[in-house]
Structure 1
Amino acid sequence: MTRRACTPVFILSTFFFSAAAAEPVDAPAPDDGVIRIGERKPDEIYSYGYRTRTALDVGSAVTVITAEEIEDRQYAFVADALKESPGLALARNGAAGGFASARIRGGSSGQTLVVIDGVIVNDPSAPQGGFNFANLDVADIEQIEVLRGPQSLVWGADAIGGVVSIRTKRSGAPASIFLEGGSRGTVRGGATLSADRNGAYARATLSGMRTGGISRAADGTERDAFRSLAASFSGGAPLGSNAELSLQARVGDSHADIDGFPPPLFLFADTAEVEDTTDYSVSARLDHRSGERYQGALTLAYAGVDRRNLDLGVETFAATGDRLTANYWGAAKITPTLSIEAGAKAERTAAKVSGVDEDASSGAVFALAEFKPTTRIVLSAGARRDEFSNFDGATTSRVAGVWTVLQSGENAARLRASWGQGFRAPTLFELNFDQFGVIPNPDLQPERANGFDIGVETKTGALLFRAAYFSQRVRDQIDFDFAGGGYFNIDRVRSRGVEVEAEWSAGEMFEARLAYSLIDAKDRTTGLEILRTPRHSGSATIVLRPMPALSLSSTLAFNGRENDFPTPNASFVTLDLRAAYALTDTLELYGRIENATDSQYQDVSGFGEPGASVFAGMRVRL
């Protein structure tokens, strides 16, 4: 371990163990030591491991977007919901249906791990193994969690920037439907059926959208349409009093008109190209308990993506990628203050790009200890080892702590800190494929990172305030070298910054939320700013409820200037307005104006964005 890496660990250890020594010895943590299956509290998160925890216990910065917030903000896709998350930069290639990627704390899109119901859904056939958020509808989503900072201890490869974890719904109204329409011939709708009895449950959702769209190319004139259809299912049942079996499945299909680089100038312009994408995942999980102090889970999962590009009916590109995973996790309550978690994982990934097949396998083990010396302190530490069939393995570790300095009624103050390591494995595309002039590089090695953050959270009456400082370094980062025509371990990236959130409410009638991020992310090899990561970004949301049935809200979002290729993107501001009115307990009408000021901007260089857009719809719950 380098001296630079040791420094944050020493600071964290000194700070929290000094706090523990100064803290009065309370009773054991407020927990009877019993690990229960199927129970859930409102503040529980799933992104940190296989056992639910409260957001206050993980030691890392985490943003939670609930189903209620998704509905109130009238988001259509997960990409829309992520835009206001601090520390995260969301870039989409134009309007609905354009490729959408998430970068956390200056990391690349391939350094953001995406998990749906515990299943990793990053695309093994994508150049850097990232996930496309463009087609992921919010119709059946219970919660979105953005866990920031290196998280390879629990999740392994690709979690350098952080993890976006998505949890689908397990219960709700027996039947519900929604339907909305608006600008550019947009129609979106969905229906859900749900049932539960004696602890068993089943839920199925179907949703879809179609729109006439705008030109993908900013200087184009033709409209590029988009349509998508998604279906999901979740079900589960108790197996006696100490076990539960759960199943999840989802499939999405989309068709997007895209633009390209037609001859003779080969500049980005209108073309007749289309992209068809099908993505799917299925998983089975068996939770079990032995006695009162041990819980384990065996999970089998399969996920894949199938992409095809066509120009006037002729296939110009095809790629498929899939991932088969088996893992076991167990947690034991050793004493009322100490718990140990451990797990093992085996995985096979495969990719086929334009007829070229490649596959790889990997295995991993990890262990994590969590210690609660008092009711106000949570300390954790762990390590992980990953082995790969096609390159050297990687060892990662993490330490974290949370100290509740003050807890009195509605007033509280907490300090948290964490230090962790991460890595990203070279993708099958980077290692092997020769497409569009890209030169494969079988000698690539994993990217490696370490980073720390320290934060504070205070709650005084109706005011909640959070702030965090982070610093992260990545070495051997894989990037495309335009001069060399391929991917190389050429970059060293340093990112640091500040994330601030504030919330204030006056009962049920008024609430305000502010979020701000400062991210200083640079390629230390070239001295240039990291692509598509604005130095400054933020949002302000105001919600008014003048009567119980009526909700009015607005969001002002700012995105600062950012580096991009071939030209930088200028800063821009957008304003969204929303209203909803519940006619009855089962029927609600709603509407929104997106980009109400008709701002002209580019989220990704060369791609057009829609101007002012109006939508209206209804929700029915039976």
Structure 2
Amino acid sequence: MKRIASGPRARRWMLAPLSAAVPLGLGLAAPPAARAQSPLETVVVTASRLPQPLTEALPHTTVISREDIVRAQVPDLPSLLSREAGLQITSNGGLGTATSIFMRGAGSSQVLIMVDGMPMTKQDATGTVSIEQLMLDQVERVEIVRGNVSAIYGSGAVGGVIQIFTRRHEGPPRASVQLEAGSYGTSRASASIGGRQAATAWTLGASYLTTDGFSAIDAKKFATANPDDDGYRNRSLTLGLSHEVAAGHTLGLRAFSSQGRGEYDSGSSFDAPGDVHTRRSRLGSVQVQSDNRWTQAWESMLSLGEFRDRDINAQTGSFDFESDARTRTRALQWNNTVALAPRWQATAGVSRQYQRIDTDEYEKSRTVDALYAGISGTAGPHSVQVNLRHDDTEGVGSKSTYYLGYGFRLTERWKAIASASTAFNAPPLGYLYAPFFGNPDLRPEHARNQELGVQYAQGVHVLRITAFRARLRDQLVYDFATNRFENVARTRNRGVELSYSGRLGRTDLRASLTRQDPRDEETDQRLNRRAKTLASLAVSHELAGWRLGIDWRHTGERPDAAQTLSDYSVVDLTVRRSIGRRWSVFGRIENAGNTRYETAYGYRQAERSAYVGLQWQADL
């Protein structure tokens, strides 16, 4: 199982006024010449399976656009998500090391990750998707939906859903190339090309990253660990193709692949200083899809896809070993949308998943069948969203879930929102059947969630404040008393989260603040590695042709087993300038204050580092 991070004594930034005020997570704005997009123009699909303006989504939803990704300049998905409300990232060091994500206190196995509508489910004994292998060069946008949404997406959507959309090129054919180099012997290159010609749109992209890395392990805490630097490299590919075969009928193909290879540090007491740990990871998906408008009121989407995740871990030295775990998920989905009346829509569909795990020690598979339906719309000041779903997981049992959401427009700018929902998480095949510690009698985790919130939307400004209460029973944990997985824990979390994005003159702002209290109900202890306070503030300002950015992130203290990890704040700086119509130069300084911190006990994070790059792009 993976070990994941949260930090030691981190030097504090004297930013108490920001903590007392509403921290505005500084967004990395649109280009100087670009018009800020109104929230009414930002369309999301993950909150209900229906395209809708961001401000109409009842679940707390935020969007990270391609412009945001470009201006953030960070290479991987975990670094990008660490700036979002309710999300906490922990890792065992630098790029490519084992990483976990907590959303509203829910663990990685309780957060559903999707790519272009394809669920990424990992069936080994970690149950944790390898998000550290997802680079951003070929990502178009990311949609984040918080809270129980199993009634829309099924198992795993306890803390919420993160959906990644790969690059799409519309309009005239266009090409771009980007090069970057910096600290720790890091270099990065990416290229993409695509566009639309008549009824056909296509996209092709590739990226490569390599770094010498650094030694994350703290030798004072793990004296037997190897203190050498831990390098990493990643190769990623994306492909998109769609063709309108007739008016209202489109066939599409989407595929992505990410292959990572690197060394990592281990805190095992069985290690010797000369031992070398390596990891090879390969994950990707391929999906074919048919979008059809059968009538003016009825649209449907039929898709067939496969997701694969393979992890090979090896150690050479005093105790040689190699493990190889291969997850495969095939999914057939048929989704239908029907316009019932102006501003009212219904959705209904069926899906079947085939899940399989292959290791050197065991092979297991199962099917998951689901039937779902939903309705959403507005009438005067009232907004309603209702979703129902029934999942039948072979060998585990069936579960029905619901989402009930209501919004009331108080004024033209203010809206009150309330919701209640349930969710579940089926145990991965590795939890059930892994030799020695698997438990075939495990039950799914069950969760309930209630929310009250208020939203302000005006022009480019969107402010969302949400109070939430979540409870989970039958939590899946490794029980050291029985030396196997068990349903033993009951947890709860209560909190308030804030997200804001907007623009003031030439300055773009993006902010988040989370206050929560995730606890084990039986022991009343705070859940491991969960912080009570998370905050971010990002500012991006255009000045004399330069785009200057500053990003501040704060994580409060949190327990890590018998240890307490100190709170920390990190500041990143970015700069970008366009040279003519085709060229731009950029650079960033990560951890500008050189804060010493950990996100997992004994595993240090990177010190101050600097990177510079060059980009070329042009219409063909």
Q: Which TM-score applies when normalising by structure 2?
A: 0.89
Alignment match, 1:258:
264
Contact 2:125 2:431 in 1 (8 A): no
With over 3 angstroms needed to count, the CA separation of the structure-2 counterparts of 1:450 and 1:593, relative to structure 1, is same
Distance 1:530 1:154 in 2: 27
Structure 1 position 585 matched with structure 2 position 581: yes
Shift of 1:583: 1.2
Alignment match, 1:368:
374
Q: How does 1:183-194 map to 2 (within 5 A)?
A: 183-194=183-194
Deviations 1:203-257 (A, max 9, x none): 0110010000011322253101000100010110112002111110011111110
SS in structure 1 of the partner of residue 603 of structure 2: coil
Structure 1 position 417 matched with structure 2 position 418: yes
Structure 1 position 571 matched with structure 2 position 567: yes
Distance 1:268 1:526 in 2: 36
Alignment match, 1:149:
147
Contact 2:554 2:570 in 1 (8 A): yes
**Count, aligned residues:** 570
Contact 2:461 2:501 in 1 (8 A): yes
Alignment match, 2:513:
516
Deviations 1:78-98 (A, max 9, x none): 111100110111112211111
Structure 1 position 606 matched with structure 2 position 610: no
Q: How does 1:112-131 map to 2 (within 5 A)?
A: 112-127=111-126, 129-131=127-129
Alignment match, 1:31:
none
Alignment match, 1:51:
50
Distance 2:458 2:168 in 1: 34
Q: 1:383 aligns with which of 383, 388, 393?
A: 388
Shift of 1:321: 0.5
Alignment match, 1:502:
500
Q: How does 1:32-71 map to 2 (within 5 A)?
A: 42-71=41-70
Shift of 1:461: 6.8
Shift of 1:462: 6.9
Shift of 1:146: 1.0
Alignment match, 1:616:
612
Alignment match, 1:202:
202
Amino acid at match of 1:581: R
With over 3 angstroms needed to count, the CA separation of the structure-2 counterparts of 1:238 and 1:312, relative to structure 1, is same
Contact 1:170 1:235 in 2 (8 A): no
Highest RCO, 1 vs 2 (Cα 8 Å, sep ≥ 6): 2
Distance 2:426 2:272 in 1: 31
Distance 1:107 1:583 in 2: 45
SS in structure 1 of the partner of residue 181 of structure 2: strand
Q: 2:397 aligns with which of 379, 392, 402?
A: 392
Contact 1:591 1:614 in 2 (8 A): yes
Amino acid at match of 1:215: S
Shift of 1:51: 3.0
Alignment match, 2:13:
none
Alignment match, 1:306:
310
Fraction of identical pairs, as percent: 23
Amino acid at match of 1:473: R
Deviations 1:452-485 (A, max 9, x none): 1121112467754321100011011111112221
Q: 1:559 aligns with which of 555, 559, 572?
A: 555
With over 3 angstroms needed to count, the CA separation of the structure-2 counterparts of 1:461 and 1:57, relative to structure 1, is closer
Q: 1:403 aligns with which of 386, 389, 408?
A: 408
With over 3 angstroms needed to count, the CA separation of the structure-2 counterparts of 1:483 and 1:619, relative to structure 1, is same
Amino acid at match of 2:427: P
Shift of 1:529: 1.0
Deviations 1:391-436 (A, max 9, x none): 22101111112222222xxxx11222221110000110111102xx
SS in structure 1 of the partner of residue 391 of structure 2: strand
SS in structure 1 of the partner of residue 79 of structure 2: helix
Shift of 1:339: 2.4
Contact 2:122 2:428 in 1 (8 A): no
Distance 2:458 2:152 in 1: 33
With over 3 angstroms needed to count, the CA separation of the structure-2 counterparts of 1:332 and 1:589, relative to structure 1, is same
Deviations 1:337-360 (A, max 9, x none): 532211111111000122310111
Alignment match, 1:290:
294
Amino acid at match of 2:60: A
SS in structure 2 of the partner of residue 70 of structure 1: helix
SS in structure 1 of the partner of residue 558 of structure 2: coil
Contact 1:218 1:609 in 2 (8 A): no
Contact 2:115 2:164 in 1 (8 A): yes
Structure 1 position 528 matched with structure 2 position 534: no
Deviations 1:44-97 (A, max 9, x none): 112234432222233110111111011111121111110011011111221111
SS in structure 2 of the partner of residue 553 of structure 1: strand
Distance 1:382 1:502 in 2: 27
Stretches of structure 2 that go unaligned for 5 or more consecutive residues are 1-38, 220-225
Alignment match, 2:252:
246
Contact 1:490 1:525 in 2 (8 A): no
Over the aligned positions, Cα root-mean-square deviation in angstroms equals 1.9
Shift of 1:305: 0.9
Contact 1:308 1:315 in 2 (8 A): no
Distance 1:578 1:337 in 2: 42
Alignment match, 1:97:
96
Distance 1:281 1:497 in 2: 35
Alignment match, 2:351:
345
Distance 2:333 2:255 in 1: 18
Distance 2:45 2:595 in 1: 37
Amino acid at match of 2:572: D
Distance 2:386 2:272 in 1: 49
SS in structure 2 of the partner of residue 153 of structure 1: helix
Stretches of structure 1 that go unaligned for 5 or more consecutive residues are 1-39
Shift of 1:289: 1.1
Distance 1:462 1:227 in 2: 39
Alignment match, 1:488:
486
Structure 1 position 278 matched with structure 2 position 282: yes
Q: 1:135 aligns with which of 130, 133, 136?
A: 133
Distance 1:337 1:96 in 2: 45
Distance 2:571 2:108 in 1: 26
Alignment match, 1:439:
437
Amino acid at match of 2:193: L
Contact 2:47 2:61 in 1 (8 A): no
Shift of 1:378: 1.9
Alignment match, 1:472:
470
